[in-house]
Structure 1
Amino acid sequence: MSGAVASDGFFRRLVLPGLAFKAVVIGGGYATGREIAEFFVGSGQMGGLLGLLLAMAIWSIVCAVTFEFARQVQATDYRGFFAELLGPGWIAFEIAYVLFMILVIAVIAAAAGEIGTALFAWPTWIGTALLLGLIIAVVSRGTAAAERLFRYSSVLIYAVYALFLILALAAFGDQIGGKLAASTPGAGWVAGGVTYASYNVIGAALILPFLRHQSSRRDALYSGLLAGPLAMLPALGFFLSMIAFTPEIGEAALPSDFLLTRIGVPWFGFVFQAMIFVALLETGIGMVNALEERADAAVRSRGATLPATARIALSAAIVIGSGVLASKLGLIDLIASGYGVFGWIMLFLFVVPLLTLGTYRIITRPLEIAST
């Protein structure tokens, strides 16, 4: 029994934060492959791979510093975190975050609609409505419910991406190896990696409620460094599969569907699309939960609690409004017009202050105080 408890403690302290970070970034970051195509295909095969590895390194560093800074200032939600990091400027982050959250939920809602159409020939609104309804149902139950979902959904996601890469290598691995061997890094891979990392790394600040099991600097730093690989491994496998059909795959609305057609295993196509739906669900839950935990903290600071009906109403307002936006704009337009802008906004509101002011405060704070 004690071994099982220790193992679960290890998971909650060091692995769960990375799974939560993966959950927040996967839906808006690479679940359908559209985002990878937007930021990396144009840099060529080797350039795209280097850009993804650069983004992974940035994620690990920023997550590690974020987790430790949050632990030191005892921030359990993003509002408390940015009040310490930016002072009165925290409101600028919140405005940017709410707008970004609406954009991401609109993107995943549009993708869910397209998945429903591809699998069952549904009208797009049915897939969108199903996703948004499930987000509301889970988020209304709080962070503990999200933790349970992330634990089990992550097993499905990693297993399906691994099988996807295996089937892709079997079907067109010779094309992947040939193109990668002949490739040299193209222009823009550094900018692509930095921009992609910057708009996704906001997830490090959104998953602070999932750090409640940590108790030391080592927990924070180790889990942060592990978060980058945990979040990026499926994307790396996805990009390797895409290499066989670059650059034409860059024009596909759903690169995942493009590749599944060429893999030619019908039953796996169904499994993969269902997994993408779960990944989109993870992201929606992670982003909306962050806002609800922030609202709950504000209410608790006044000596009250946020009732379940209020949690349901808040999440419903967010996801339904975002779903309306998704119905007005296409998936490619949403990604191309919105993500790049927010990447630069988050770079200056979050990454730069964190790696300068935040790092300085961590280094100058006595270790014996920080590690208690």
Structure 2
Amino acid sequence: MLKANRWVQGLGIYLVPGLVFQSVIVGGGYGTGREIAEFFLVHGAVSGLAGMLVSCVVWGLVLAVAFEFARLTKSYNYKSFFQALLGRFWWLFEVIYLLIALLVLAVLGSAAGEIISQLLGVPPLYGVLALMAFVGILTFYGSRIIERFFVCWSALLYLTYIVLLGSTFTEFGDEIAGHFANGEWVGSWGIDGVRYAAYNLNALAAVLFVVPRFKRPRQALGAGAIAGVVAIIPGILVFLTLLAGYPDTQVAAVPVVDVLAALNIVWLLVIFQVMLFGTFIETGTGVIHAVNERIANTFRMQQRVFPASYRAGIALGFVFIAAFLANKIGIIGLISSGYGLLSYAYIAVVIVPLLTVGVAIVVKQQPRPVLPSDD
């Protein structure tokens, strides 16, 4: 019994942070397959897969340093974290985080509307409203419920992707293998791997609430390294699946749905779209929960209570604005233009400081003092 309890406790420490991180990035990135097509499929089979492994390494390295840095500085929301890392320039992260939060939510709103419309034959607006409702409910109840939902839905996600990949290989295995047989190395796959990893580090802000579980450096460092692997596996499964319809899937708005349509397995199409909608809820909840935790910390510093109704209200406001953006620009335009630009901002504000200042503090195990803040 004691060994079993230690095993469960170990999973909570080393595996759950990766599942939470993966849950936040999965909706816009892996769920639709659009981001995978934009950053990796464009380079072909071999180069695209190599680019994904670059993303895995970057995530593992940065998250390991970030978790230990957060543990040392007791930074459990993004404001206190970047105050400790960037000093008076912490607000730079908040600006780009809020921009990419709106961008991610706009992508999710666009995809959610399309999926619900295809699944139920109703106007896309119903999908956006359903997304708003579920995100509002989860953010209302806070961290504990959010973590449980993320872990449970991640298990369903892995199972569904494995079934999808198995079905795809059964039907299109020769086509997929043929793309690898060409063995071509195409384009700047390494740079795109870093860019993809960089802007998805917006999810770091959403997983800081798990840091209090780390009691020792090896726990924080180990969980961060494992998180990189846990997060990339669903992406690799989607990448291999999209190769079945390559190069057509490279330009599709929701490439995964195109592959499912080609398979013509109705039950799998329905299950996948339900699972996919759940990943949108995960990602939307994650990016907004980070904002709520930042505001809640300000309330605590002012010795005030942050009402749960404010959490839900902020979530609904974000999704509403994002839905407007999605309607005006569209999912392909949002990903190709917005994500590419913001990835460079994340490299400058997150990756470079963490791998310089952050590493120095982690090695010395001596966090520098944080400047006082009024808000």
TM over 0.5: yes
Equivalents in 2 of 1:274, 1:228: separation in Å?
26
In structure 1, the residue matched to 2:372 is: none
In structure 2, the residue matched to 1:135 is: 135
In structure 2, the residue matched to 1:243 is: 243
TM-score (norm 2): 0.95
SS at match of 1:342: helix
Shift of 1:261: 1.2
1:30 aligns with 2:30: yes
- The residue correspondences of 1:268-287 to structure 2 (distance < 5 A) are 268-287=268-287
Shift of 1:242: 1.5
Equivalents in 1 of 2:107, 2:230: separation in Å?
22
Shift of 1:3: 4.4
1:327 aligns with 2:316: no
Shift of 1:299: 0.5
Equivalents in 2 of 1:362, 1:103: separation in Å?
32
Shift of 1:366: 6.6
Equivalents in 1 of 2:172, 2:265: separation in Å?
13
Shift of 1:191: 1.6
My pick for the range that moved more, 139-148 or 241-250, is 241-250
Shift of 1:30: 1.8
1:58-110 CA distances to partner (integer Å, 9 max, x unpaired)? Answer: 11111101000100111011101000100011011101111110110111111
SS at match of 1:152: helix
8 Å contact 1:24–1:283 — kept in the other structure? yes
8 Å contact 2:17–2:223 — kept in the other structure? yes
My pick for the range that moved more, 358-367 or 140-149, is 358-367
In structure 1, the residue matched to 2:6 is: 6
1:46 aligns with 2:46: yes
8 Å contact 1:68–1:221 — kept in the other structure? yes
Q: How many residues align?
A: 367
In structure 2, the residue matched to 1:69 is: 69
Shift of 1:309: 2.0
Letter in 1 for 2:212: R
Letter in 1 for 2:162: A
Letter in 2 for 1:306: F
In structure 1, the residue matched to 2:303 is: 303
Shift of 1:365: 2.4
In structure 2, the residue matched to 1:355 is: 355
8 Å contact 2:27–2:282 — kept in the other structure? yes
1:98-146 CA distances to partner (integer Å, 9 max, x unpaired)? Answer: 1110110111111111110121111001011101110011011111110
In structure 2, the residue matched to 1:184 is: 184
Letter in 2 for 1:202: N
1:212-251 CA distances to partner (integer Å, 9 max, x unpaired)? Answer: 2221111101110110111111110111122232222111
Letter in 2 for 1:295: I
- The residue correspondences of 1:81-160 to structure 2 (distance < 5 A) are 81-160=81-160
Which runs of 5 or more structure 2 residues have no equivalent in the other structure? 368-375
Shift of 1:312: 2.0
Equivalents in 2 of 1:205, 1:99: separation in Å?
13
Letter in 1 for 2:187: A
Letter in 2 for 1:102: L
Aligned residues: CA RMSD: 1.4
- The residue correspondences of 1:204-283 to structure 2 (distance < 5 A) are 204-283=204-283
Equivalents in 2 of 1:145, 1:128: separation in Å?
22
SS at match of 1:212: helix
Equivalents in 2 of 1:25, 1:78: separation in Å?
17
Equivalents in 1 of 2:13, 2:342: separation in Å?
30
8 Å contact 1:83–1:90 — kept in the other structure? yes
Equivalents in 2 of 1:244, 1:272: separation in Å?
17
Equivalents in 1 of 2:82, 2:28: separation in Å?
23
Letter in 2 for 1:319: V
8 Å contact 2:168–2:244 — kept in the other structure? no
Equivalents in 2 of 1:225, 1:355: separation in Å?
14
8 Å contact 1:45–1:246 — kept in the other structure? no
8 Å contact 2:44–2:179 — kept in the other structure? no
SS at match of 2:318: helix
Equivalents in 1 of 2:161, 2:116: separation in Å?
20
TM-score (norm 1): 0.96
Cα–Cα, structure 1 residues 181 and 204, in superposed 2: closer, same or farther, change >3 Å?
same
Letter in 2 for 1:355: L
Identity rate, percent? 36
8 Å contact 2:28–2:35 — kept in the other structure? yes
Shift of 1:182: 1.3
8 Å contact 1:128–1:323 — kept in the other structure? yes
1:168-205 CA distances to partner (integer Å, 9 max, x unpaired)? Answer: 00010011111111121101101211111111022123
Equivalents in 2 of 1:297, 1:198: separation in Å?
26
In structure 2, the residue matched to 1:342 is: 342
Equivalents in 2 of 1:39, 1:271: separation in Å?
26
Letter in 2 for 1:11: L
Letter in 2 for 1:180: F
My pick for the range that moved more, 339-348 or 38-47, is 38-47
Shift of 1:4: 4.8
SS at match of 1:304: coil
Equivalents in 1 of 2:365, 2:213: separation in Å?
22
8 Å contact 1:179–1:244 — kept in the other structure? no
